[in-house]
Every structure is written in structure tokens, then in C-alpha cells.
Amino acid sequence: MQIGVQSGYIFTDEDYEAGLRMIRDAGFDSVDLNIDEQLDVRNMIRTGENPFFCQTTETIVSHYLPFKAAADALGLRFGQMHAPFPVYADGNDAANRVLFDAFCKCMAVCSALECPYLIVHPIAWSGTQAEEWDKNIAFYASLIPAAKQYDVCICLENMFRGRNGHIEDAVCSDFREAAAYIDTLNDLAGEERFGFCYDVGHATLLGRDQRRCINQLGKRLKALHIHDNDGRSDLHMQPFAYSRGKEYVTDWYGFLAGLRDVGFDGVLSFETYHAVEYLPTELKPVMLAYIAGVGRYFQSVLTTA
């Protein structure tokens, strides 16, 4: 079991070598590459501009090969990758073609970086739940040929939405539904090409029982987004940051119990970018070392209980 962290707000294309070294020196083994930062989807929908992903697959892969060489030299791996979001523009076929092309190119990068998992958020549909199901099945099914070509597992994620100042359930926040998505898509693929990325913070926002949710996913669980919040906003902060009295807002020990129940042995990957986003440069290594320390603590709990 390894410890990982996202690249966002830690390094950019210009300083990836120093950023990867900072991640390694903090105590991490793995990186979640935020390739999503290369495509501002909302701006692309508005303007039609897509400067990065309009390049050829070969050019984009070549762009990331030095990242792989630097990571290899430091003993780091790319454990997962975060695809652009949102994934669908209702009524905008041109934008959806750009997005589909971007997802396929992301999988090509995954293959080049030996990254097994690409997290692709599901479509949040404003119509009925049945319509949302059909939209998502069709969307993910369209990615199966590229997933097979590049030998990548596509991971769905549990979502939430805000409505009139309230946090509400969204697609895949019901984990029985999430399991049904994975099973249906793998049946369509004829092999295991889909898994699930469990977002701890999103489950906290919706007041979910962490252990029960993970047990409902079972072996479908392939990747993690570990971060903390106050139960009101999606803050993406370091674990153990929020408590009410003697109790933490996130049930961290329920989360770990769930991972132990299902025998999770993947990367404990932290999506804690707001914990480092506005820190002084000198303090970023300190915060990253703390987050990696939490990961090692989680690892010890999982391996000794």
C-alpha cells in the first residue's frame, strides 16, 4: 500500500522536477496527476478554445514523458490521473466531441506514464434518475474502446450538488447505484475496465456512513480522494482539520474500517490541494510532510488492526 498526493497547486509544467522532488521528500510514493488543469472546460464551452488537447496524441504524450523520467529517477509512480471536469455539455455537440477526444488522449498519457486509473466524473443530469443512468451508461460505454486500447481502468466518483444553499445527493452518491454502474459497464466491456474512486470529503458533506459506503462498493473500489471539510463546503483540506467538540467531522476511523473490510490495498491518495494552495512557499513542504504522515498513520492502522 502506497501514499499519494495530487499534483495540483504543488507543481506546474514549468517546475515539475522540483515539485516531484518536494512530493518525494515529503514522504509520498505516488502522484495523482491533475491533467484536468490543462483544459478549462467552462471556458472551452464558452469560447471554443482548447489549446492543449487540440494537439495530437503523440505531441501530448511527448509532453509528459519527461515527467515520467523525473518520477522514475525519484522512485515515484503515477498512481492515478484526474480527467477534465465537467465531462458533458448539454446540447453542445461540438464541446462534447472535444471532451471525448480529451478523455481518449488522457488515457494515452496514462499508458505512457504506466498510470492504471483515470478518474472521470459522471454526468450530473437535471432530468430523471432513469435519464441520468442512460446518459452515463452511454457516455462511459463510448470510452471502452480507448480504455482497452490503452489498458486503463476508468473510475467513476461519488458526487454531490448544491441547491439553494443546501448540499444534496447527486449521481453515484447512492453506493448501491454506484456498484450497479460499475457492474453494468464491466459487463458491457466484457472485462474489468471500470472501477470506483471513493471521495471521502464528498461522503462527509452528505453525512454518509463511511464504512457502510465502502462496503457497498467492495472490490469495485480502486482509487481514493482523501480530504477533509467542515461538513458544509467541499474544502479539500488535510485530514483531522475539522472537529465539533471531541468528534471529527469526518469519521476517519469508519473510513479506515471500511478499507480494511474490503481489503483495499491500493494507493492512499490525498486530494488536499486547498491545504497547500495559499501557503507560503516555505510552508508547503511542511504541510505535505504532515499529510504524508497522516498517510503513514492510516497505513499503520490498516496493516496492524
Question: What pLDDT score was predicted for residue 190?
Answer: 98
Per-residue pLDDT of the chain (305 residues; tens, 9 = 90+): 999 999 999 999 999 999 999 999 999 999 999 999 999 999 999 988 899 999 999 999 999 999 999 999 999 999 999 999 999 999 999 999 999 999 999 999 999 999 999 999 999 998 899 999 999 999 999 999 999 999 999 999 999 998 888 899 999 999 999 999 999 999 999 999 999 999 999 999 999 999 999 999 999 999 999 999 999 999 999 999 999 998 999 999 999 999 999 999 999 999 999 999 999 999 999 999 999 999 999 999 999 85
Distance CA 64, CA 13 (A): 9
Q: For residue 147, what pLDDT is reported?
A: 98
Q: CA distances (Å), 83 to each of 12, 25, 35, 196, 285, in order?
A: 16, 26, 6, 14, 26
pLDDT score of 126: 86
The pLDDT value recorded for residue 41 is: 95
Dihedrals phi, psi of 258, to nearest 5 degrees: -65, -45
Closest CA to 35 of 56, 61, 17: 61
What's the pLDDT at 162?
87
Determine the pLDDT at residue 305: 57
CATH architecture of the domain with range 2-304: Alpha-Beta Barrel (3.20)
- Distance, CA of 185 to CA of 182 (rounded, Å): 5
Which residues are CB-neighbours of 13 under 8 A, at least 6 positions away? 63
C-alpha cell at 261: 473490510
d(CA 169, CA 190): 30
* pLDDT score, position 290: 98
What pLDDT was estimated at residue 2?
97
pTM above 0.95, yes or no: yes
CB 208 within 8 A of CB 200: no
- The domain spans of the chain are 2-304
Supply the pLDDT for residue 48. 85
Per-residue model confidence (pLDDT) at position 49: 87
User: What is the pLDDT at residue 258?
Assistant: 98
Return d(Cα 198, Cα 184) in angstroms, integer: 18
